[in-house]
């Protein structure tokens, strides 16, 4: 299993990416660090060298966080992000991991590796641990405007992800809405509900409110990319604010500091349920490559998690499962 890591992607690269690769390499993975070789060798030297299963692949350019997706694809043909996807397309790598520009990653995936047959729109998914088990939300940013058939595709792809990642044979599918009643929501959600109920091999559980994302009512929750992205960013902001409040409260006096020290393990465990970085990042679904897109500020531990998760979904046939689901849908509907 060979993972192509965009070593120059992320706010603080290449330090965390190199360290993350070294951590993940302990599991026996073969990791390809893609980036400026001179810069990477300087960083590697500060970290005491690389294990034998981590290799370098030179790429002279870097996609910055503020680069537009199309410009990144057209103008930076030797970027570490593009070269990582090219390694998958050529069969030199099995999956891609990047902490860089998510829009550019989507463009690279679509234009370098192409969409899987039958995929109308690729999607970016976010995984949550949850108290009763993991759940996936998609789309969280790839498509701001969607049709009902796009959301139906998201349901099939998200279900294939849950099968490959967690062995859930028949995932339960929910539709994000502003109420549990079938008549609520927008025209998009009402029309989508009809399509989801007819998907083959899927148990449709009905509309789900945002507050039920982590209640284990569904394994897969679908929505349009604009709504999903707003939801994810709102959750991130609330979690960040909560952590800030806890830190401030714990610093007030000695008793508070002692109490915070005792509560720290429990708080960490509780927050892990709503933190999708637990799996290293989001998964780009619908292209002919397994790709994990992490947070730009990710530290080495999160990057190592992303690398391991990329291996997991690749080894368990994510792409083949998506293709089989779409083919079954097409045969069943004639579309």
Strands 203-208, 123-128: pairing kind: unpaired
CA distance 205 to 216: 11
pLDDT bin (cut points 50, 70, 90) of residue 268 is: low
Q: Give the DSSP per-residue string, 202-253.
A: -EEEEEE-GGGTTTTS-SEEE--HHHHHHHHHHHHHHHHHHHHHHHHHHTSS
pLDDT tens per residue, range 16-33: 999 999 999 998 899 999
Instruction: Give me the torsion for CA of 29, 34, 37, 43, rounded to 10°.
Output: -60
257 C-beta neighbours (distance < 10 Å), count = 12
* Alpha carbon distance 68, 147 (integer Å): 25
Q: How far is Cα 326 from Cα 335, in angstroms, rounded to an integer?
A: 10
Where does the pLDDT of residue 331 fall: very low under 50, low under 70, confident under 90, or very high at 90 and above?
A: low
- Chain centroid to Cα 240, Å, comes to 19
Which band of pLDDT confidence, cut at 50, 70 and 90, is reported for residue 88?
Answer: very high
Domains delineated in the chain? 2-119+286-316 (3.40.718.10), 121-279 (3.40.718.10)
Question: Predicted confidence band at 320 (pLDDT cuts at 50, 70, 90)?
Answer: very high
* Residue 214 confidence (pLDDT): 76
pLDDT of residue 73: 93
At 279 the pLDDT is 76
User: Any idea what DSSP says for residue 116?
Assistant: P
Q: Are 169 and 155 contacting, i.e. CB atoms less than 8 angstroms apart?
A: no
Q: Please, are residues 138 and 157 in contact by the beta-carbon 8 Å criterion?
A: yes
92-144: per-residue pLDDT in tens?
999 999 999 999 999 999 999 999 998 999 999 998 877 778 899 999 988 98
Rg of the chain in Å (alpha carbons): 20
Quote the mean pLDDT of the chain.
88
For position 260, what pLDDT does the model report? Answer: 61
Helix (H) or strand (E) holding 193: helix 187-196
Angstrom distance (rounded) from CA 6 to CA 224: 28
State yes or no: pLDDT of 273 exceeds 70: no
Instruction: Encode pLDDT of 170-224 as tens digits.
Output: 899 999 998 777 677 788 998 898 888 888 778 899 999 888 887 888 999 999 9
**Count of other CB atoms within 10 angstroms of residue 115:** 15
Q: Per-residue pLDDT averaged across 147-153, rounded?
A: 93
Q: pLDDT category, 277, cuts 50, 70, 90? A: low
**In degrees to the nearest 10, what's the CA dihedral of 183, 186, 192, 197?**
-20
């Amino acid at each position: 299993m060979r993972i192509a890591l965009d070593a120059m992607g992320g706010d603080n690269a290449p330090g965390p990416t190199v360290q993350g690769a070294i951590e993940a390499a302990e599991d026996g993975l073969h990791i390809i660090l893609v980036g400026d070789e001179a810069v990477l060798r300087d960083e590697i030297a500060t970290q005491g060298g690389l294990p034998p299963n981590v290799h370098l692949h030179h790429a002279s350019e870097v996609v910055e966080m503020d680069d537009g997706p199309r410009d990144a694809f057209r103008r930076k043909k030797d970027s570490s992000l593009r070269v990582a996807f090219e390694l998958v397309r050529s069969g030199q790598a099995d999956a891609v991991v990047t902490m860089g520009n998510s829009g550019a990653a989507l463009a690279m995936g679509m234009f370098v590796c192409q969409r899987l047959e039958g995929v109308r729109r690729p999607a970016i998914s976010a995984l949550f641990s949850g108290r009763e088990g993991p759940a996936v939300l998609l789309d969280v940013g790839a498509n701001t405007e969607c049709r009902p058939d796009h959301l139906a595709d998201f349901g099939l792809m998200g279900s294939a992800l849950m099968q490959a990642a967690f062995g859930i044979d028949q995932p339960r599918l929910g539709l994000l809405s502003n109420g549990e009643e079938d008549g609520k929501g927008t025209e998009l959600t009402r029309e989508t509900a009809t399509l989801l109920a007819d998907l083959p091999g899927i148990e449709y559980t009905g509309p789900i409110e945002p507050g039920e994302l982590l209640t284990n009512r569904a394994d897969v929750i679908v929505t349009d990319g604009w709504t999903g992205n707003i939801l994810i960013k709102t959750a991130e902001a609330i979690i960040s604010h909560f952590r800030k409040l806890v830190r401030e409260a714990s610093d007030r006096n000695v008793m508070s500091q002692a109490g915070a020290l005792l509560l720290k393990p429990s708080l960490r465990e509780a927050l892990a349920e709503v933190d999708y970085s637990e799996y290293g990042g989001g998964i780009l679904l619908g292209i002919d490559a397994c790709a994990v897109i992490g947070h730009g500020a990710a530290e080495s531990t999160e990057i190592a998690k992303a690398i391991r998760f990329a291996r997991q979904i690749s080894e368990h046939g994510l792409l083949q499962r998506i293709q089989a689901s779409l083919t079954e849908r097409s045969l069943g509907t004639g579309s």
